[in-house]
Structure 1
Amino acid sequence: MRRLLTALVALLMTAALGAPALAESPGLVSRPGQYEGYAPVLYDEWVRTSQYVPTRDGTRLAVDLYRPAVDGKPVDRPFPVVWEHQLSRASRAEDGSVSLRGVTSGMADLTAYGYVVAFVDRRGNGASFGTMTGYHSRTEAADAYDITEWLAAQPWSDGEVGVFGCSNTGDAAMQAATVGAPHLKAVFAGNYSFHKYDAFQRGGIRANWGVGPNRTREEDLRNLPVDADPDGTLLRQAVEQHQANTSLRDMWRAAPYRDSYVDSVGTRPWTEYSVATYREAIERSGVPLYSYDGWDDDFRKESLVSAATLSNPHKVLIGPWQHCENQGFDIVAERHRFFDYWLKGIDNGIMDEPPVHYYTGSFDGTGQWRDTAQWPPRPSARQTRYYLADGPTGTVDSVNDGGLTRDRPRGHGGKDDYTVDYSVSCPDPVDQEQTCPQDAKGLTYTTAPLKRHTELTGHPVVSLRLSATSADGNVFAYLSDVAPDGTVRILTDGRLRLALRGTQRAPYDVLGTPWRRGDTADARPMPSGKAERVDFDMLPLSSVVPAGHRLRITITGADVRESDRTEVSPAPVYTVHREPARASSITLPVV
């Protein structure tokens, strides 16, 4: 019945507006990244206006509005509204060129289909007034409530509101779902953290992100003022208020544990700023969610954990991308599909599809898209244990190379001593994506050439029996695909601070992986000379390793993405044990 009503409404709308009726279109297409025929093009123009909107505490936020237009004038009828809680909705580069978020994101294109699209500078950013205290604070979440309800109440709005974003704006989109705004009907969020500690402080180790934006006054003043501020007087006043923004780098340095309290922000930041803290509020809202990420992004587990934990209607997309990228996939079309379904009631079938759409890639850059009703896909993946062993087991290219085999160690087994090498580096800067290979800086364990193509889809888990000459330190593990010519492609990685090696039961669904609370009381020094069990998961993956290639695990004590590394002199020595009673291994999700 709903599909029939949707078709009738679409036919009536298109006939009334003079557009081709759906029945006359060459076909209807609605699949991930492709959307045709369900939503006719209604307008070929948009107009952009900007203004300040006050929040409940009087802070003025800068808002850009993109509205459908005819002959240069906005259409005087109500539409659904989708918006992004931005850091800079509009700015000018040093060369004078203007960057409009509505254009660079492609989202202004939705005006053609009868949407109003809005971009709002968060307080303390862009042309907005106020200061940014912490990272995704409850004040910002309250702002999201106020903006959502303001957008819903405008005469050009029909009251149906969706929010979208990626990275810090993806987090902001999810935060908008925590405050119960009555008119928020859909959230499309990418590359966000479900729990900031698990994402930013994964394994108890800080990485080099989550510390911006850090703009100078001069950079801030390149943000475009709103229409009512042509000479930038108000912008200059706002920029002065930004100077009191929280130093996120200093804040995170003051919060080494999940329960750390930071005086400068007056809260426990890992708790207050994490979406997971407000799970019950999100579920009470019932707002539908769409999460997306990439296999080369460091936050990719977070979308899967979010979907597994929350009871809301949920879609997940994971492609062969780095942070907030979507090469070869029309993310605007996918947002359009999702918002059409939930904001316009167009039954385009998006929610009838399997909830998880993911890409399985290979060494040569080829791959295929797949669908699954649950993650990890079951029952196709088999948890298969590979043991760290004596080497070499095949052609090797590292002086530290040992073997990686399905056979448990026998006899007296063995062990490998490793002096932590802090000189890790990459030829190019590394951000949220995978690091570069560090095989010469650690211990490596490599399989014999694979006899058949081997697919790995799921969550690898490393289990080491490790002793150390230091009471604390960091351990990193990288899983790589090694080609016959020696070329190394990192598939995934894991990390753990040794003092936080103990595991606890997670308060949300972590997909069967080891979880650490990471509170102050959980820190325990490594006992001198005693082998401890050190288990940690690697980020999820879906990749085919071709026949003739080899799998390699590399163990190091340093990573190029670390923040605030503590280097010990002399460098500590880690001993990886491989005896039958103290075997070290990696469990791989082999399909």
Structure 2
Amino acid sequence: MAAALFAIMAVAPATAAAQPYTDYARESLYVPVRDGTRLAVNVYRPGNGDQVATERLPVIFVFTPYRARIRNAEGEVVETALQDSLGLRSLLRAGYVVAVADIRGKGASFGARRGFQDRTEAMDGHDLVQWLAAQPYSTGDVGMVGCSYLGGTTMHTASTAPPALRAIFTGATDWDKYAFVRRGGITAQFNTRPDEPLSDDLASVPVDDDADGAMLRAAVAEHAANTSMAGLWYGMPYRDSVSPLTGNAFWDEVAIWQYADAIRDAGIATYFWGNWNDEPTSDVILAAENLGSRLLVGPGSHCETPRDFAFTQEIVRYFDHELKGADNGFAQQPRVTWWSDETGEAGHYERGDSWPGARSQASAWYLGDGALAARPPVAGARTFAVDYDVANDAYFAFWPSPLDAHGLVYDSPPLDVGMDLLGFPTAHVTIAADRPDVDVFVYLEAVDAAGAVEVVSFGRLKASQRAISPAPWDNLGLPWHSGREADAAPLAAGQSATLVVPMLATSYHVPAGSRLRFVVTGADPRQRNLADLRQDPAPRITVAHGWEYGSRIELPLAREGGE
């Protein structure tokens, strides 16, 4: 089939003139995978004028549930491959074939999704990588790029070790799906939103040979059999739960750490990326350290392009080095790059060979009678009733808003000197409750001299899952809770227990004159099932303080030089 040719100069950055290819040719088609399911694949080949590149080029592959090509409400066609948030448009100009495919059960692809990022989807990715490598326009070398779900498909495809897959650049993904979705045994935010209606997939642009859209309609009809994402996660409360929807221990099936040896043994180059104000970043750091990967941690939220950083150029340079063998200095670049926070919008990037916070020193701040101090207070306790009325209007809040009004608050005095935090805080909270089990959420906040509050880090833990076990990977010295059903320990009446809660990694400068604030609640607005969780009367949680109870937060103080 002749591929149509389109100009992209109108949307190219000012530096596009220096790139070898200003135009592209696109074609879309169905490619069958090993079980015969047909997946919609869109292939973009670089070109100039009306000439498509004739030489063989490396391929960059993206595997998405969000529809590779759609027609929006205004009737405009929106194409993933022509966006540059992941450098795809720049890669196309730089002499890469870019291919974007819809996962089975989504977009224009046929089939139904058995389970979120299951082995079927992973093997689909494997088959498409190998198909792309065998095409006449390909050198046989394939790279993958993605963020969020697309980061997950990148990792799961890599876990099958396709021989043609040489390098991946992946952001905001997970190392351990159980800890990612049910951190501390509690679902909150990720992957529990309602499933999209089939009409969203019907907005996909049909493949080239489907002029009347009949194949698209037939494909989308099969999507009605997709397994509910939220239903899948809610139905497996423990790490070793058997899913009633898939019939197996599904957390094990979708845990990337289980396949780490396969990725390492295949020699696939890995580059992980996250941003500090994004929950997956803690998993990204763990994955990078356990795989010996390159790592970038920028400022900002979920999958935002890191500001003040040549992000798309970094992606192109990385793939030029890994897929084209370019001697561009990338091999000599330090393994880790991270945003070091200063005041307000200020900050700078630092580079090194250790993960951010590897050399930070712990500083304990103790809970008291509403106070947070560097010394343990006189023994005492405070009690609150869980407030379930914490919901807000944010459909997808990647970072929580301050929750001071919904639980216990502990404030420090204004700091005499500024404090630089880098790494993972850890909370130690001794509690008792009037129920056998409660959900406990902890937040570290910074309150500036004018009273503005910002959440710096947070964590959560179900009281019954407080037992600490050896982690099956390098957990960077953090406490690890197994989440296994046999390790669950409900609270006995009158019993107190200490919860050790790992909190999310941070890079944050607390200026002199600001206060630290520690908040404890029993509910979080990012729990989408608050209506189901609500109890009447509400549970009452008591937090003990004093030397013998050890309730405190340990803060990672950065050493001079940022490490």
Tell me whether the two structures share a fold, i.e. TM-score over 0.5.
yes
- Structure-2 residue corresponding to 1:3: none
Corresponding residue for residue 472 of structure 1: 437
**CA separation in 1, counterparts of 2:219 and 2:233?**
25
1:524-535 equivalence runs, <5 A: 524-535=489-500
Deviations 1:397-429 (A, max 9, x none): xxxxx111111234xx21111111111133x40
> 221, 229, 241: which one pairs with 1:260?
241
- State the AA in 2 paired with 1:326: T
**1:344 corresponds to 2:312:** no
Counterpart contact for 2:447–2:454, Cα < 8 Å: yes
In structure 1, what is the equivalent of residue 63 of structure 2? 85
Query: Residue 43 in 1 paired to residue 21 in 2?
Result: yes
Shift in Å, 1:528: 1.5
Task: Determine the C-alpha separation between the residues in 2 that align with 1:453 and 1:73.
Answer: 59
Contact kept? 1:35, 1:334, Cα under 8 Å = no
1:415 corresponds to which letter in structure 2? A
User: Aligned to 2:79, which of 100, 103, 108?
Assistant: 100
1:283 aligns with 2:264: yes
Tell me, what secondary structure is at the counterpart of 2:367? Answer: strand
State the partner residue of 1:516: 481
In the alignment, residue 139 of structure 1 is paired with which amino acid?
A: T
What SS does structure 2 have at the residue aligned with 1:243? helix
For structure 1, the 5+ residue unaligned runs are 1-33, 391-401
1:286-334 Cα distance to aligned partner (Å, 9 max, x none): 21101101111111111110012124xx111111111111142443222
What is the percent sequence identity of the aligned residues?
Answer: 38
**Displacement over 4 Å in runs of 4+:** 34-37
- Between the aligned partners of 1:173 and 1:74, the Cα distance in structure 2 is 28
Residue 416 (structure 1) aligned with residue 374 (structure 2): no
* CA contact 2:368–2:546 (8 Å) conserved in 1: no
Matched residue, 2:427: 462
8 Å contact kept, 1:124–1:132: yes
Pair 1:577 & 2:555 matched: no
CA distance in 1, matches of 2:382, 2:135: 67
Q: What amino acid does structure 1 have at the position aligned with 2:132?
A: L
Residue equivalent to 1:61: 39
Q: Counterparts of 2:46 and 2:218 in 1: how far apart (Å)? A: 32
Cα offset, 1:194, TM superposition: 0.9
Letter in 2 for 1:72: D
Residue 68 of structure 2 aligns with an amino acid whose one-letter code is: R
Paired residue for 1:238? 219
- Please tell me whether the aligned partners of residues 357 and 424 of structure 2 are also in contact (alpha carbons under 8 angstroms): no
Q: Residue 115 of structure 2 aligns to which amino acid in structure 1?
A: G
For the 8 Å contact 2:69–2:205, the answer to whether it is kept is: yes
Structure 1 residue aligned with 2:106, among 118, 125, 134?
125
Question: Contact 1:298–1:432 at 8 Å: present in 2 too?
Answer: no
Per the alignment, do residues 363 and 445 of structure 1 end up closer, same or farther by CA in structure 2, a change over 3 Å counting? farther
Question: 1:511, CA displacement in angstroms?
Answer: 1.2
Please tell me whether the aligned partners of residues 300 and 540 of structure 1 are also in contact (alpha carbons under 8 angstroms). Answer: yes
Q: Does 1:332 align with 2:299?
A: no
CA distance in 2, matches of 1:432, 1:140: 27
Deviations 1:78-129 (CA, angstroms, capped at 9, x unpaired): 0000010012100011221111111124513322221101101111111111
Amino acid at match of 1:331: F
CA contact (8 A) 1:382 1:589 kept: yes
Letter in 2 for 1:99: V
Q: Hey, what's the Cα distance between the residues in 2 that align with 1:580 and 1:182?
A: 57
Residue 36 (structure 1) shift: 8.9
CA distance in 2, matches of 1:487, 1:57: 56
3-state secondary structure, aligned to 1:161: strand
Structure 2: state its 5+ residue gaps.
1-12, 559-563
Identify which range, 557-566 or 83-92, moves more after superposition. 557-566
CA distance, structure 2, for counterparts of residue 45 and residue 300 of structure 1:
35
Residue-by-residue CA offset, 1:438-478 (whole Å, 9 max, x unaligned): 10111111111111111000110000111111111101111
Q: Secondary structure at the match of 1:158?
A: strand
Partner of 1:31: none
Structure 1: distance between partners of 2:201 and 2:470: 44
1:173 aligned onto 2:120: no
1:512-562 per-position Cα deviation (integer Å, ceiling 9, x unaligned): 111111011121111222221111111000110000001110011110011
For the pair shown, the structure with the greater C-alpha radius of gyration is 1
Q: Which amino acid aligns with 1:584?
A: S
8 Å contact from structure 1 (residues 126, 220) kept in 2: yes
TM superposition score normalised by structure 1: 0.88
Query: Secondary structure of 1:456's partner?
Result: strand
Task: Give the alignment partner of residue 73 of structure 1, picking from 36, 43, 51.
Answer: 51
SS at 1:333 equivalent: helix
Matching of residues 439-518 of structure 1 within 5 Å: 439-518=404-483
Q: Is the 8 A contact 2:275 2:306 kept in 1?
A: no
* 3-state SS, counterpart of residue 51 of structure 1: strand
Q: Which residue of 2 aligns with 1:371?
A: 351
In 2, the alpha carbon distance for the partners of 1:456 and 1:113 equals 39
The amino acid that maps onto 1:406 is A
The alignment covers a number of residue pairs equal to: 540
**Are residue 303 (structure 1) and residue 253 (structure 2) matched?**
no
